[in-house]
Structure 1
């Protein structure tokens, strides 16, 4: 199977990033990533996006949702908007949390879709802390030639 150029470039970038991560850990110690992670605020829930021949799939890690009203999903052009609030489930105040890698609080994520998607064919399902959104890739019919009649 021949890989598209964009996919090869993305895989190459990921390998470079993984190599950098490993080298920084060896030189600066594994604590480096914990320390720097605390300095960089999370933008919201972690998200994976992939696509098949017919569908773009967005997987968002959103724990502890109890109702549909806690999260909103919309499509603005080709940008999927996820917004909501993930409550902190710990029985302590925020200043007593000594390490926080998971995201809690209000968020708004704007995710550009990797392929053109149809606004009319979107499904969302929430199960076991994961929100899965499936968006059908827009299919364009082949152009049809229109014959011209002369009178």
Structure 2
């Protein structure tokens, strides 16, 4: 991909705008509608007993993250500060590919997710959220007498 080190290059700006528009329109095939390219990146899966969410947020202080679960919607929000100096007379910014700013990801959970049985932990910049499924919804084997 072509990158220019000169500011105000119209082709680089058009390429950036095209990528941003494509990311905004590129929806995941999941019916719950996860957008690709968002921050933090997410992996979501589950077992018969739990729903597992992994949010990849390296460099963020876990205390600054807001994780809420309300009406079947899990929300992960916060702000990622910029580590770059503001462009000005003494500095120039040539390429900025790292996201900085406020973010919010919303995930629709299955109906059997139990909002009273949620745990969250962080290790090496990965936030792991585990949501138990309601006991009534878990599969069980029925014996014949």
TM-score bracket for this pair, using the shorter chain length: 0.5 to 0.7
1:116 to 106, 112, 137: 112
Which residue number corresponds to residue 49 of structure 1?
Answer: 44
Change (3 A) 1:124 1:97: farther
Unaligned runs of 5+ in 2: 1-14, 25-36, 138-145
Q: 2:76 corresponds to which residue? A: 82
Bigger Rg, structure 1 or 2: 1
Q: With structure 1 as the length reference, what TM-score do the two structures score? A: 0.59
Which position in structure 1 is the counterpart of 2:99? 103
User: Would the aligned equivalents of 1:85 and 1:107 in 2 still touch at CA under 8 Å?
Assistant: yes
With structure 2 as the length reference, what TM-score do the two structures score?
0.61
DSSP-derived class of the 1:53 partner: coil
CA RMSD of aligned residues (A): 2.6
Task: Give the paired residue count.
Answer: 106
Query: Residue deviations 1:23-57, cap 9 Å, x none?
Result: xxxxxxxxxxx865354365431111000111101
Structure 1 runs of 4+ aligned residues shifted over 4 Å read: none
Deviations 1:62-81 (A, max 9, x none): 1212351x111111111101
Structure with greater proportional helix content:
1
Give 3-state SS (helix, strand or coil) of 1:140's partner: helix
Q: Which residue of 2 aligns with 1:16?
A: none
- Aligned position for 2:61: 66
Unpaired runs of 5+ residues, structure 1, are: 1-33, 142-151
Task: Give distance in 2, aligned partners of 1:54 and 1:60.
Answer: 20
